[in-house]
Amino acid sequence: MKKVQDLEAAQALAQSDRRHHELTRQVTVQRKEKDFQGMLEYHKEDEALLIRNLVTDLKPQMLSGTVPCLPAYILYMCIRHADYTNDDLKVHSLLSSTINGIKKVLKKHNEDFEMTSFWLSNTCRLLHCLKQYSGDEGFMTQNTAKQNEHCLKNFDLTEYRQVLSDLSIQIYQQLIKIAEGLLQPMIVSAMLENESIQGLSGVRPTGYRKRSSSMVDGENSYCLEAIIRQMNFFHTVLCDQGLDPEIILQVFKQLFYMINAVTLNNLLLRKDACSWSTGMQLRYNISQLEEWLRGKNLQQSGAVQTMEPLIQAAQLLQLKKKTQEDAEAICSLCTSLSTQQIVKILNLYTPLNEFEERVTVSFIRTIQAQLQERSDPQQLLLDSKHMFPVLFPFNPSALTMDSIHIPACLNLEFLNEV
């Protein structure tokens, strides 16, 4: 009987100890969460696993619904702990491994718009974090007192900021190349050939080469709606992944420049496309693209200005081309076209029917005489591969590091919150 009582007493004591231990553990966990200082600690031997799970093997879709640029914030919190413990080798190793990991991903996915956009967003955000928390007063003007507590204490990472800036430029150029590759096959068909204004086919000049009216009719034919759908896809991905608004503006300025260059170059090489009806079609298509820009609040991007040569070419096709006054109107309007381009379009211009006269040689000479003072570029065609220099303005985040949650799907259980 005594043994039974002793056993019951021992069980009660063990249960009491277990409850006390669980209570203590809960209190410890709560205190840890409360005192989380926005740093993440890991053992040096786990660095390769960190880079694999957070960079090289990470799929952007895994992080849908989380804070945009989450990998950048996690990496900064790891860097900050290494800085806090004054471990310069760990800081150097982590940043070098991160940069090499990103380069490896980009090389593997060099035709993947979403993956490239994802790492452009994260590389820029990591660059912003290294500035925002550098301790440099010029980058701290928008920080809260809490954010200032999360600044680096020991190391100046200016050189790594330059490396990340250079890497961001490379990623941006890859992103543009991918986007242009997706858009380019659509441009000539959608902008010059497809009948987006119903009934215009009845007023095409004789000999006009029309491929087909929609993708249903031919593999190589696209309507303007296809370009707009592609632009919508680009815009949604860039916004969802948290790319800085200033960079998004530059992306669309670059893409609109390419649409302008490819369309104008084809117009300058195709006699069948230089007609009044093509001018009408072009003006309508350009107005649809301008409306899309306004709908996405991208009118400050400078995209419309890059299309000015094409806008003027469309107007030139519709202007009268007979009198001295007509010549003066053309010269005053077509300021974004070179003399060579204006003359080429006038030479190629095809009358709609037998009632419309061809542009006379004397009219073209009048134009040339009026424009002879211009200092124009010598080449006829635009450089469709021209790329505007990209700028990455400093864009601090309002998030505090201690508010960031790491989802289980990242498999980063080996990171300890400090």
Tally of structural domains, the chain = 2
- Which of these three, 156, 173, 193, is where a domain ends? 156
pLDDT in tens, 62-80: 999 999 999 999 999 999 9
Q: Give Cβ neighbours of residue 383 (< 8 Å, ≥ 6 apart).
A: 261
Are 101 and 150 found together in one domain? yes
Q: Please, which residues bridge with residue 40 across strands?
A: 417
Unique residue bearing structure tokens 């090499």? 100
pLDDT given for residue 221 in this prediction: 87
CATH (domain of 248)? 1.20.58
Whether residue 381 is contained in a domain is answered as: no
Dihedral angle sign, alpha carbons of residues 240, 246, 250, 253: positive
Task: Please determine, for residue 213, whether its predicted confidence score (pLDDT) is greater than 60.
Answer: no
CA distance 132 to 121: 16
207 or 279, higher pLDDT: 279
Rounded to two decimals, the pTM is 0.88
Amino acid sitting at position 341: Q
Are 135 and 191 found together in one domain? no
Whether residue 19 is contained in a domain is answered as: no
Percentage of the chain lying above the pLDDT 70 cut: 87
CB burial class (10 A; 0-12, 13-18, 19+) of residue 85? Answer: middle
pLDDT in tens, 373-396: 898 888 999 999 999 999 999 999
Whether residue 148 is contained in a domain is answered as: yes
Are 245 and 296 found together in one domain? yes
Task: Please determine, for residue 170, whether its predicted confidence score (pLDDT) is greater than 50.
Answer: yes
pLDDT in tens, 227-273: 999 999 999 999 999 999 999 999 999 999 999 999 999 999 999 99
pLDDT given for residue 105 in this prediction: 99
Whether residue 35 is contained in a domain is answered as: no
pLDDT in tens, 292-309: 999 999 999 999 999 999
Structure confidence at residue 353 as a pLDDT band (50, 70, 90): confident
Task: Please determine, for residue 362, whether its predicted confidence score (pLDDT) is greater than 90.
Answer: yes
pLDDT given for residue 217 in this prediction: 43
17 or 215, higher pLDDT: 17
**Which tokens in the block code for residue 176?**
């543009």
Helices (H), 158-300: 158-188, 224-240, 245-269, 276-295
Whether residue 414 is contained in a domain is answered as: no
Unique residue bearing structure tokens 């298509």? 285
Are 109 and 188 found together in one domain? no
Unique residue bearing structure tokens 């570029």? 377
Tell me the three state secondary structure of residue 417: strand
Structure confidence at residue 146 as a pLDDT band (50, 70, 90): very high
pLDDT given for residue 77 in this prediction: 98
Structure confidence at residue 214 as a pLDDT band (50, 70, 90): very low
pLDDT given for residue 219 in this prediction: 61
Are 135 and 245 found together in one domain? no
Unique residue bearing structure tokens 């090389």? 107
Q: CB-side exposure of 198: number of CA atoms within 13 Å?
A: 0
Unique residue bearing structure tokens 């409360």? 34
pLDDT given for residue 357 in this prediction: 86
The CA-atom distances, in angstroms, between 388 and each of 60, 248, 253, 379, 381 are 28, 13, 9, 19, 18
**Using an 8 Å Cβ cutoff, are 333 and 367 in contact?**
no
**Using an 8 Å Cβ cutoff, are 376 and 35 in contact?**
no
Whether residue 172 is contained in a domain is answered as: no
Structure confidence at residue 352 as a pLDDT band (50, 70, 90): confident
Q: Give Cβ neighbours of residue 206 (< 8 Å, ≥ 6 apart).
A: 350
Task: Please determine, for residue 218, whether its predicted confidence score (pLDDT) is greater than 70.
Answer: no
**Which tokens in the block code for residue 29?**
């966990």
* Residue of 256, 263, 286 whose CA lies nearest to 381: 263
Are 101 and 136 found together in one domain? yes
Whether residue 32 is contained in a domain is answered as: no
Phi, psi (degrees; rounded to nearest 5) at 322? -125, -55
The CA-atom distances, in angstroms, between 331 and each of 306, 364, 376 are 19, 11, 13
Residue 141: count other Cβ atoms within 10 Å of its Cβ: 7
Are 134 and 246 found together in one domain? no
211 or 187, higher pLDDT: 187
Whether residue 375 is contained in a domain is answered as: no
Are 51 and 95 found together in one domain? yes
Structure confidence at residue 11 as a pLDDT band (50, 70, 90): low
Are 138 and 234 found together in one domain? no
Are 76 and 114 found together in one domain? yes
pLDDT given for residue 195 in this prediction: 85
Q: Which domain holds residue 281?
A: 183-205+224-370
Task: Please determine, for residue 204, whether its predicted confidence score (pLDDT) is greater than 80.
Answer: no
